[in-house]
Structure 1
Amino acid sequence: MPLTFSSRDRRPWRRRLLFWAVVLALLAWTVGLIGFAYGLPDEVGAPSERTDAIVVLTGGSQRLETGLDLLARGMAGKLFVSGVHRGVDAAELLHVAQQEPGRLECCIVIDYNADDTIGNARETARWVSAHGVGSIRLVTSAYHMPRSLLEFEAALPNVRILSHPVFPPNVKQEGWYRYPGTAALFAVEYTKYLLARLRLTIERVGREILEEGEPQT
């Protein structure tokens, strides 16, 4: 007579399976977080290379100041500042960055529409397309750079992007695990990075499926 198992008999196995699945997922996430943290940029690449434009993503210290300094040094002809609060103009940005309005004010373009990194990339792509920009220097915090590059490379596939990370003094990249604030920041950013990769992968696969389904002429 064949052995049969009731749903009550199978319940402990399901719980164990779920438990080990959660443990393995957390382990994989932790290993990935460590790799993410140690893989963050610790210096600026190609610091002397000029680009058509500089793009600054607001939301972190030293970003705007760095972008304005690059513009003042002639590293690009235009500065595109993405994610600015409505009502703030170029003169006020210069004042906040402790620079006098003058020759730089005419070279600053402000985007008020972006609310997040996805919006930053999309609004920048619109501006780049409208003005024939072929290369940009992307300025944001080092911990934010991996996710920013993901979004920008997807939105601007034909534009050369140079990363220009900034390093806020309150973010301790070296020995990050010893600082709860930095560790929590990296954990949140790494999770957002994973979600961005997943979303972009799904979008890419969806496009490929649609393209394959289109009738050939």
Structure 2
Amino acid sequence: MNALERAKPDLPEGIRPEGEGRRRRKGPVRIAVRVVLALILIAAVAGAGGFLYFAETVASMEAPQDPKADAIVVLTGGYQRIDSAIGLLKQGAGQRLLISGVNPTTSGTQIRKLTQSSSALFECCVDMGYEAVDTIGNANETARWISDHQFRRVLVVTNNYHMPRSLLELRVSDPQTEFIAYPVVNSDLRNGNWLRQPGIVKAMLSEYLKYSLARLRAVIGARSWSGLRGDMSGLSGS
């Protein structure tokens, strides 16, 4: 027996040196940290891949040639959308037009003048929707309008980046109706140059996150908000 062995104290059975116990405790902690980091990495890769797929889907959207439907709905957010929808109505692409999500301070006459449309067209064929305050509200307002008029096939006019979420919410609110996308393109995303434009990247990321949340709500059935002014006033008064 050498001097080092003689210096080691004898420990009672079942008791290990202090350093060995500390090393054993660190093992599970290290594994847990690695698992968490791996999950974060997987989520980041999946999120990036999902965003790129979303961007490619939006970039490849094209308006159908000579579209035909029972009616047209345009989701407010810019007069270019409304101009496009009015143009479709004039071409006979649909019988009626709903402008959904109109600001309560905006009149039909103002929109008619801005789009240089006739009074006769607005009186016969254009409905103003003042109830919707967001995309869910657009979907619910549109579903009620479709039910009132018994439409079955409806053109949806909105920006290309907004179209996936709009169609998703519309189909949740009204699964029976066939919705046809008519995207309005404000920025050309096909050449990839938008990736060097922070404003467009920010808008696309924001819309992708909203779309992802909308998909999650649709899967778990967690939509508890109607997005309609009437329901908001009822809640505030209760």
Q: Per the shorter chain, which TM-score range?
A: 0.7 to 0.9
Of 119, 125, 143, the match for 2:143: 125
Of 95, 113, 120, the match for 1:103: 120
Using the TM superposition, give the Cα deviation of residue 128 of structure 1 relative to its aligned residue in structure 2, in angstroms.
Answer: 0.7
For residues 98-177 of structure 1, what are the structure 2 equivalents within 5 Å?
99-106=116-123, 107-168=125-186, 171-174=187-190, 175=192, 176-177=194-195
Query: What TM-score do you get using the length of structure 2 for normalisation?
Result: 0.77
Instruction: Name 2:71's counterpart in structure 1.
Output: 53
Query: Contact between 1:172 and 1:179, CA under 8 Å: does it hold in 2?
Result: no
SS in structure 2 of the partner of residue 62 of structure 1: helix
Residue type of the alignment partner of 2:143: A
Query: Contact between 2:73 and 2:97, CA under 8 Å: does it hold in 1?
Result: yes
Residue type of the alignment partner of 2:134: D
Using the TM superposition, give the Cα deviation of residue 19 of structure 1 relative to its aligned residue in structure 2, in angstroms.
Answer: 2.5
More helix by share: 2
SS in structure 2 of the partner of residue 139 of structure 1: strand
Structure 2: tracts of 5 or more residues without a match: 1-13, 223-238
Are 1:35 and 2:70 an aligned pair? no
SS in structure 1 of the partner of residue 158 of structure 2: strand
Residue type of the alignment partner of 1:103: A
SS in structure 2 of the partner of residue 103 of structure 1: helix
RMSD: 2.2
Instruction: Name 1:213's counterpart in structure 2.
Output: none
Using the TM superposition, give the Cα deviation of residue 12 of structure 1 relative to its aligned residue in structure 2, in angstroms.
Answer: 4.0
Query: What TM-score do you get using the length of structure 1 for normalisation?
Result: 0.84
SS in structure 2 of the partner of residue 42 of structure 1: coil
SS in structure 2 of the partner of residue 191 of structure 1: helix
Change (3 A) 1:4 1:101: farther
In structure 2, C-alpha distance between the alignment counterparts of 1:130 and 1:5, rounded to whole Å: 72
Change (3 A) 1:8 1:180: farther
Using the TM superposition, give the Cα deviation of residue 172 of structure 1 relative to its aligned residue in structure 2, in angstroms.
Answer: 3.7
Are 1:194 and 2:194 an aligned pair? no
Q: How many residues align?
A: 200
Write the deviation string for residues 69-128 of structure 1: whole angstroms up to 9, x where unpaired: 11111211211011000032221112223x144222111101111111111111100111
Larger deviation: 5-14 or 153-162?
A: 5-14
